[in-house]
Amino acid sequence: MAVMKHEHEGEAAKIGFTGPSRVEKDRFGPIAGVLSFRWVLIAFVLILWFVYYPIIDNFIVSTKNQDIFTGETAFIGLDNYRRLQGDPVFWTAIVNNTLYAVISVVFQVFGAFVLAALIEGLTEERWRRFWRAVYFVPSAISITVTGLLFYFIYQPDIGLLDSALTQIGLAEWSRAWLGEEGTAIYAIIAMSQWQGFGYSTLLFAIAIQKIPRELYDAAIMDGAGTWRRLWNITFPLTREMTGLMVIVTITGAFQVFNEVMVMTGGGPNNSSQVLGTWLYQQGFIENDFGYGAAIATVIFVITLITGFAQLWYTKRRRVDL
Amino acid sequence: MSVSHHPRETERTDFVAVLAKTCLVTFLISLGFVVLYPLFWMATNGFKTNAEIFGNPFALPSGFSIANYISAWNQGIRNYIATSVIVTLGSAVCTVLVSAWTAYGLTRSKLPGKPFFVGIVLGGLMLSPTVAVIPLVRMMQDLGLYNTYWALIILYTAFRIPFTTFLIRAYMLGLPRDLDEAAIMDGASEGQIFWRVTLPLCKPILVSCVILHVLFAWNEYLFAMIFTSGADLQTLPVGLTSIMAKHGTNYAIVFAAMTLSALPIVITFFAAQRFFIRGLAEGIGK
């Protein structure tokens, strides 16, 4: 509302309005407030029913031992959470999600920032547009397709990666990337970087375009070189976008499911399990809904923290939110 | 290699600058190759025979027969695309319409206690589908919606309303009220103002919202996998994994199927690039 007032105060005054609310009040009266609820009714029913309520129900389910086939339910309190503590796969998943977050922040936030700065430094607009579009293409494709594609790329018999390594004389590096416990999660994370960096590059490019060019002109006059300009102008002036991207990327990293499911299903020997796939494994394959729900609660707590960080961050930037 | 937007740097056209520029262009081209070659490989593998796939992976197919593409299309992709289109368009219309109503209610109507309602809607942004999925299975079974299009349309709508409302609301806050005031003076009701005044003004953000929703719904996997089990109800991402399971040995068909499912969204991206980019920019917050 603050935005609107600033921009249109002048015009409103011109046509003789002292405040926007007076006319509306006279026209609709006090009952209008209650009637206005109809605008938000459908959204509220849907959100409360399908988004909020399941979170509460999820916590209730997590305190029970339940078999979906027999329907027998027993209250077991926080036993499922105690079980999590002693579950090595759960801790593998936490480590894998954290790896996912750290590597994605490095490539999809800081790497993408540098790439966006390089692209925006090109002199011709058509080439800037061209590179932004090329790098973005994988982001438009579904993770299922890219996951399957890289599943094949990592195969030793038909895949591109091992053939390429052999051709450049690194045959001893070739292996079944998804079939070995030491490399599976890294192979998945690498696919995710390939798919996602163009998206964040695009967003950084948009942020960089908003920087006034006079700043660069002044810096050149002062004799600042390319890297000084990048570090002293571009980086500080896109810091808000960087902060937001860090939070969004971390949130995404703890909700990873699709690519792991498609590429390894959490294997080999649970080495590439993440919280999402371990939840699925426990809840839907082992039919242990209570334990699956406990894992879901952990994801909920982590994303709630990052969500509040994001809200705080956005609010700080935009007072009228 | 210049990070500035400044085109004229005559004094820097020395050897170092040329070298830097060459390095930059080489880097951009190599990266572009890494990005595009796997996709090119996927599409050309769809033309190969199975024997060729097991040969040199860098070789081109011996002929461009579309037989694999046709059998992928007939062995499921057609149905999966139909389901994906129904679910994507159905949920896009529901989401954008409901979100526009909600955004209007939260910005323009006389609704009391707006901050409270805004808080509830925006709070939904923090809740992820993964967390809700176990309770939702039983809810959908109780409602008799399990394994129907409606399960996906309702869930996609419910989970995308907070985000979409957030975008439309931010846009509506920036719209001038002069037209509203004029319409009220003419005796228009809230409903008439919404349909005749506010909604047409919001067209740019509505287009962005539809695109963002299509990108989400077309590619969604978790809900699609859990809430549909019948082959005739599977969306593309889930259907692809079934094709993979079914034709696990006939790789050529799998590659053709992957290419066919990636194609619509890639074409949409290039055709509507401008809207895409603006939509994504809006999505992250300005």
Q: For the range B104-108, what are the long-range contacts, defined as Cβ-Cβ under 8 Å and sequence gap of 24 or more? A: B104/A39, B104/B172, B104/B194, B104/B198, B105/A36, B105/A37, B105/A38, B105/A39, B105/A40, B106/A39, B106/A40, B106/B165, B106/B169, B107/A1, B107/B169, B107/B172, B107/B173, B108/B172, B108/B180, B108/B190, B108/B193, B108/B194, B108/B198
Residue A281: closest CA among chain B residues belongs to which residue?
A: B134
Q: For the range A31-37, what are the long-range contacts, defined as Cβ-Cβ under 8 Å and sequence gap of 24 or more? A: A32/B109, A32/B110, A32/B190, A33/B110, A33/B111, A33/B112, A35/B110, A35/B190, A36/B105, A36/B109, A36/B110, A36/B111, A36/B190, A37/B105, A37/B111
List C-alpha distances in Å: B64 to B44, B46, B49.
8, 9, 10
* pLDDT, position B283: 65
**Contact call for A203 and B6, based on CB within 8 A:** no
**Contact call for A58 and B135, based on CB within 8 A:** yes
Question: Does residue B40 belong to the interface with chain A, where contact is any CB pair within 8 Å?
Answer: no
- What is the Cα–Cα distance from B39 to A146, expressed in whole angstroms? 9
Contact B78, B258 (CB under 8 A): no
Rounded to the nearest angstrom, the minimum Cα separation between A181 and chain B is 23
| CATH fold for the domain made of A86-317 | MetI-like fold (1.10.3720)
Residue B138: closest CA among chain A residues belongs to which residue?
A: A68
Domain boundaries, given as residue ranges, for chain A: 22-80, 86-317
pLDDT digits (tens, 9 = 90+) for B221-245: 999 999 988 778 899 999 998 888 8
Domains of chain B: 67-284 (1.10.3720.10)
Smallest Cβ–Cβ distance between B136 and the set A54, A241, A307 belongs to A54
Residue B262: closest CA among chain A residues belongs to which residue?
A: A141
Taking 80 as the threshold, does the pLDDT of residue B1 lie above it?
A: no
Q: Which of residues 98-137 of A touch B (CB under 8 A)?
A: 115, 117-121, 123, 131-137
Instruction: Evaluate if pTM is beyond 0.90.
Output: no
Question: Does residue A301 belong to the interface with chain B, where contact is any CB pair within 8 Å?
Answer: no
Mean pLDDT, range B130-152, rounded to an integer: 91
* pLDDT, position B12: 52
Angle at B193 between CA B187 and CA B199, to 5 degrees: 165
* pLDDT, position A78: 87
* pLDDT, position A319: 43
Rounded to the nearest angstrom, the minimum Cα separation between A182 and chain B is 24
Smallest Cβ–Cβ distance between A276 and the set B9, B130, B157 belongs to B130
Q: Which of residues 25-44 of A touch B (CB under 8 A)?
A: 25, 27-28, 32-33, 35-40, 42-44
**Contact call for A58 and B132, based on CB within 8 A:** yes
Question: Does residue B134 belong to the interface with chain A, where contact is any CB pair within 8 Å?
Answer: yes
**Contacts with A126 from chain B: Cβ below 8 Å:** none
Mean pLDDT, range B149-163, rounded to an integer: 94
Question: Does residue B19 belong to the interface with chain A, where contact is any CB pair within 8 Å?
Answer: no
* pLDDT, position A20: 46
Task: Give the helix/strand (H/E) hosting B111.
Answer: none
Q: Which of residues 203-262 of B touch A (CB under 8 A)?
A: 215, 218-219, 221-222, 225-226, 236-238, 240-241, 244, 251, 254-255, 258, 261-262
Question: Does residue B101 belong to the interface with chain A, where contact is any CB pair within 8 Å?
Answer: yes
Smallest Cβ–Cβ distance between A141 and the set B180, B238, B265 belongs to B265
**Contacts with B175 from chain A: Cβ below 8 Å:** 4
Contact B169, B202 (CB under 8 A): no
Cα-trace Rg, chain B: 25
Mean pLDDT, range B63-87, rounded to an integer: 89
SS (H, E, C) chain A: CHHHHHHHHHHHHHCCCCCHHHHHHHHHCCHHHHHCCHHHHHHHHHHHHHHHHHHHHHHHHHCEEEECCCCCEEECCCHHHHHHHCCHHHHHHHHHHHHHHHHHHHHHHHHHHHHHHHHHCCCCHHHHHHHHHHHHHHHHCCHHHHHHHHHHHCCCCCCHHHHHHHHCCCHHHCCCCCCCCCCHHHHHHHHHHHHHHHHHHHHHHHHHHCCCHHHHHHHHHCCCCHHHHHHHHHHHHCHHHHHHHHHHHHHHHCCCCHHHHHHCCCCCCCCCCCHHHHHHHHHHHCCEHHHHHHHHHHHHHHHHHHHHHHHHHHHHHCCCC
**Residues forming beta bridges with residue A288, ordered by sequence position:** A67
* pLDDT, position A44: 92
Smallest Cβ–Cβ distance between B174 and the set A4, A153, A157 belongs to A4
Query: Does B115 or B9 have the greater pLDDT score?
Result: B115
**Contact call for B131 and A299, based on CB within 8 A:** yes
Least confident of A199-208, B61-70, B138-147, B158-167: B61-70
**pLDDT, tens digit only, all 321 positions of chain A:** 333 334 444 444 344 444 444 444 444 556 767 778 888 899 999 999 999 999 999 999 899 886 666 667 888 888 889 999 999 999 999 999 999 999 999 999 999 999 999 998 888 888 998 999 999 999 989 999 999 999 999 998 888 898 889 888 888 888 889 999 999 999 999 999 999 999 999 989 988 888 888 888 888 888 877 788 888 888 888 888 888 889 889 989 999 999 999 999 998 999 999 999 999 999 999 888 899 999 999 999 999 898 888 778 777 665 433
